[in-house]
Amino acid sequence: MSTVSEIANHPVAGEPLQLDAVLDLGAAERLHAQLMGLRGRPLEIDASAVERLGGLCVQVLLSAQKTWAADGAAIRLAAASPTFEQTWALFAAPPFACDPAPQQGAHA
């Protein structure tokens, strides 16, 4: 299985970002680097293999949602394991998606 950092070096347009099975403290920095390498373009995340999701990786993913929203780019989960969904809910995190609509007549 590829690690998050290996995928970061070879992103394939149109393929979801496959998250590692264990997203713990040790994975947080790699996950952050991976996400920042994909910044500025629409992104689908595949969390179907996640068996453990730690708080720091939840924070990294929440930050990614805000970053993609600020950049006006879409980010969403393509798939999620039951463990990912349960842990995400335990952290009382908002639904994982950001699909910005084109802004019309934005006020300053």
Enumerate domains of the chain plus CATH numbers.
Answer: 4-97 (3.30.750.24)
Q: What is the pLDDT of residues 91-103, one digit of tens each?
A: 999 988 767 655 4
Question: One-letter amino acid identity for 106?
Answer: A
Q: What is the mean pLDDT of residues 63-90?
A: 94
CA atoms within 13 A on the CB side of 6: 6
Coil, strand, or helix at residue 24?
coil
pLDDT of residue 14: 65
Q: With beta carbons less than 8 A apart as the criterion, state whether 64 and 23 touch.
A: no
What's the rounded Cα separation, in Å, for the pair 58 and 23? Answer: 9
pLDDT of residue 4: 34
Q: With beta carbons less than 8 A apart as the criterion, state whether 19 and 4 touch.
A: yes
Q: What one-character-per-residue DSSP string does 51-97 give? A: SEE-HHHHHHHHHHHHHHHHHT--EEEEEE-HHHHHHHHHTTPPPSE
pTM to 2 decimal places: 0.79
Q: What is the pLDDT of residues 11-25, one digit of tens each?
A: 434 689 999 999 999
pLDDT of residue 97: 76
